[in-house]
Chains A and B, each alone.
Chain A
Amino acid sequence: MAEHGAHGAHTEFTEHIVPLKVYVGVFLALLIGTALTTGVAYIDLGRWNTVAALAIAVVKMLFVVLFFMHVKYNPGLTRIIIVGAFFWLGIMICFSMADELTRSWEYNPASWTGMILPYLSRFLL
């Protein structure tokens, strides 16, 4: 039932036609992910609630990117662009956070871990 692209054999972007059942499967996976995210929010996992929510969101995003946006079938430059953009976003977040979270550090901390952990745990809850 899987149809392979009949056109554009010479292109970097293969004209891959995604089977219907893959689309439906991804759709169901996304619905399950949404239910999971919502449901997990009602369970007390402390600081891991956020981790779980973000992890599920990332997985949902991967489903959309790989299948709905065909990135699974378009290797190469597309992936570099996506990874690059997120990496750059990461630069912006990390360096800005590095400032915001270290403003009140004492110059000669008695214990570095004692300084860092409270901030991390506050962030994650």
Chain B
Amino acid sequence: MSTAIADIHEIPAESQVNYLNASYGIKSWLLTLDHKRIGLLYLGTITLMFLIGGVAAVLMRLNLIEPTGALVEPDTYNKLFSIHGIIMVFFFLVPSIPATLGNFLIPIMIGARDVAFPRLNLMSWYVFVTGCVFALYAVAAGGVDTGWTFYPPFSSSYSHSHVVAMALGIFIAGFSSILTGLNFIVTIHKMRAPGMTWFRLPLFIWAMYATSLIFVLGTPVIAVTLLLLAAERLLHVGIFDPAIGGDPLLFQHLFWFYSHPAVYIMILPGMGIISELITAFSRKKIFGYSFVAFSSLAIAIISFVVWGHHMFVTGQSIYAGLVFSVLSFVVAIPSAVKVFNWTATLYKGSISYEAPMLYALGFIGLFTLGGLTGLFLASLATDVHLNGTYFIVAHFHYIMVGGAIMAYMGGLHYWWPKITGRMYPDLWARFAALVIFVGFNLTFFPQFVLGYLGMPRRYGVYPQEFQVLNVLSSAGASILAIGYVIPLVYFFWSWNYGPPAGPNPWGATGLEWTTSSPPPTENFEHSVIVTEDAYNYPTADVTSE
């Protein structure tokens, strides 16, 4: 039943010269210009940040076992959810797929030797690490209690927490993502191998291109906004200050102008991965290639005109609210197009259920649920009831965790053999996928109910009648945590003890599967010329030379 066929002619990874063993020593890693190594540097950094953000989540869920707060005081709880949100959004989800899998795969998938600007790429990582240092300093020094949204006047005038340090950390990390996005756009435009036309590109590339557009157009705005916030905090006067005619809602406009497209930064790469996984594990061409490709662009573009739906109840004009509401319904359409196309791809496909596919199938279901609940929130009348409740928390976790993180896990598993030259243990991987799926739903489905019943978000205490659902949610969180630890263990194990993987263990199409696992530093032994479309199944050994 398993289709993870090892190549007959596989050569053990150690005897090949590849990007991992081409040079040794810490300097060769810290000064590398190889996009693959830089991808791994990012992998290490964001995994660390994920664990820290996860610790905050664990503490929150532990606290919520008791209606009166089992663990921490309200002030501390404020800091926990703020740190959790900030680290998970800015220091994990935004860079996760682009900086790790994107960096590793984009040049290989288009047949190039590296990205357009390798030194800029390395600098991006150092800039990101610097941002992490600022953020972790802010956490260690006592954290912030403003929420990841930093709304003034609380964040500018009244909070006694380390807003400036954290804002600077996010600002710096934002620059890292701008440079990454810039690098990707130029790489995809200019470095495609001969024959690799736009419509032969893997859909992962289209998704990354659309994501990069959001990076370069949106991130600068939050950068300047946080700078203005920090200035206001330091000078005790600023442009969001009502005392001089300022409007706190202006901050929200500027903040959400980036932060809404940011959520699409977090999901689009995942969607790109799903296109790769669904085709590979149903051994079938994607249904409606150009629809999926253009839907990525459509999502990126429309994502920029819906930000006001975060401000329906904070004082925005109802007329602006009307416009944003309509547009928020529109933005769901290209996402739905993708779900339809993936489903149609599955139809009559030759489906196998390796771990990456389990994650992909989980994604489709959970992302759809999360996306549909977004429509409740896009509708002005229902949003009045649901805003500020756990319904929102559940909605975005379904998309970010049930969607983006599952796609990330699926991608990691799918390309792990390519990255490391090793296979992980398949049964453990499938088990972990199921544990994650169960744990996730147990954690977050009760939160939809809680939100509908009226439990507010960002509260460390709640009325007694909500306890059962909260306890269920916390129980689910512990299962989810275990589900995330398991892959951590076997991925580490597989570095040294995993069986060697050949060039194409999945029998998939795509340029990355035509080169060795791990690839050589220059990605390909021979120059690449592309003659076929993407996903040219059903033959397993499609070559592109």
Contact = CB atoms under 8 A, between A and B. Distances in A.
Do A's and B's CB atoms come within 8 Å in the complex? yes
Interface stretch (B49-57, B122-130, B143-151, B245-253): B245-253
B317 A92 contact: no
Interface in B309-330: 311, 315-320, 323-324
B237 interface: no
A98 B319 contact: yes
Contacts of A101: 317
Nearest to B320: A99
Interface in A56-94: 77, 84-85, 88, 91-92
B189 A77 contact: yes
A84 B254 CA distance: 18
A98 B311 CA distance: 13
B217 A88 contact: yes
B308 A95 contact: yes
A98 B253 CA distance: 11
Contact of B249 (A77, A88, A99): A99
A91 B305 contact: yes
B40 interface: no
A103 B253 contact: no
Contacts of A107: 318
B304 interface: yes
B257 interface: yes
Given A85-B217, A96-B250, A91 B304 contact: yes
Contact of A95 (B315, B318, B320): B320
By size class, the interface of chain B is 20 to 34
B320 A98 contact: yes
A103 B323 CA distance: 14
Determine which residue in A92, A95, A98, A99 has the highest number of CB atoms from chain B within 10 A of its CB, and name it.
A99
A75 to B, nearest CB: 15
A95 B189 contact: no
Contacts of A85: 217
A95 B319 CA distance: 11
B420 to A, nearest CB: 37
B369 interface: no
B319 A100 contact: no
A101 B221 CA distance: 21
A102 interface: yes
Q: Looking at chain A's contact residues, is the secondary structure mostly helix, strand, loop, or mixed?
A: helix
Contact of B317 (A84, A91, A102): A102
Nearest to B323: A98
Contacts of A42: none
Contacts of B323: 95, 98
Nearest to B321: A99
Contact of B253 (A88, A96, A105): A96
A102 B221 contact: no
A99 B311 CA distance: 10
Nearest to A104: B317
Contacts of A95: 253, 305, 307-308, 320, 323-324
A102 B320 contact: yes
A88 B304 contact: yes
A50 to B, nearest CB: 20
B308 A102 contact: no
A92 B307 CA distance: 10
Contacts of A105: 317, 319
A55 to B, nearest CB: 26
A30 to B, nearest CB: 27
A113 to B, nearest CB: 15
A107 B318 CA distance: 9
Contact of B221 (A84, A92, A99, A100): A92
A77 B189 CA distance: 10
A106 to B, nearest CB: 11
B434 to A, nearest CB: 43
B257 A92 contact: yes
B257 A99 contact: no
B460 to A, nearest CB: 32
Contacts of B305: 91, 95
Given A91-B304, A91-B305, A92-B257, A99 B316 contact: yes
Interface in B200-230: 217, 221
Contacts of A96: 250, 253-254, 257
Contacts of A99: 249, 253, 308, 311, 316-317, 320
Contacts of B320: 95, 98-99, 102
B88 to A, nearest CB: 26
Nearest to B327: A95
Nearest to A94: B305
A49 B513 CA distance: 63
Contacts of B319: 98, 102, 105
Contact of A103 (B308, B317, B324): B317
Nearest to A99: B320
A49 B316 CA distance: 31
A86 to B, nearest CB: 11
Nearest to B319: A102
A100 B247 contact: yes
A85 B218 CA distance: 10
Nearest to B316: A99
A98 B327 CA distance: 14
13 contacts: A88-B217, A91-B304, A91-B305, A92-B254, A95-B253, A95-B305, A95-B320, A96-B253, A99-B308, A100-B247, A101-B317, A102-B317, A103-B317
Given A84-B217, A96-B257, A100-B247, 8 more contacts: A85-B217, A91-B304, A92-B254, A95-B307, A95-B308, A100-B250, A102-B319, A107-B318
Which 8 A-B pairs rank lowest in CB-CB distance, beginning with the nearest? A99-B320, A102-B317, A103-B317, A96-B253, A102-B319, A99-B317, A98-B320, A99-B316
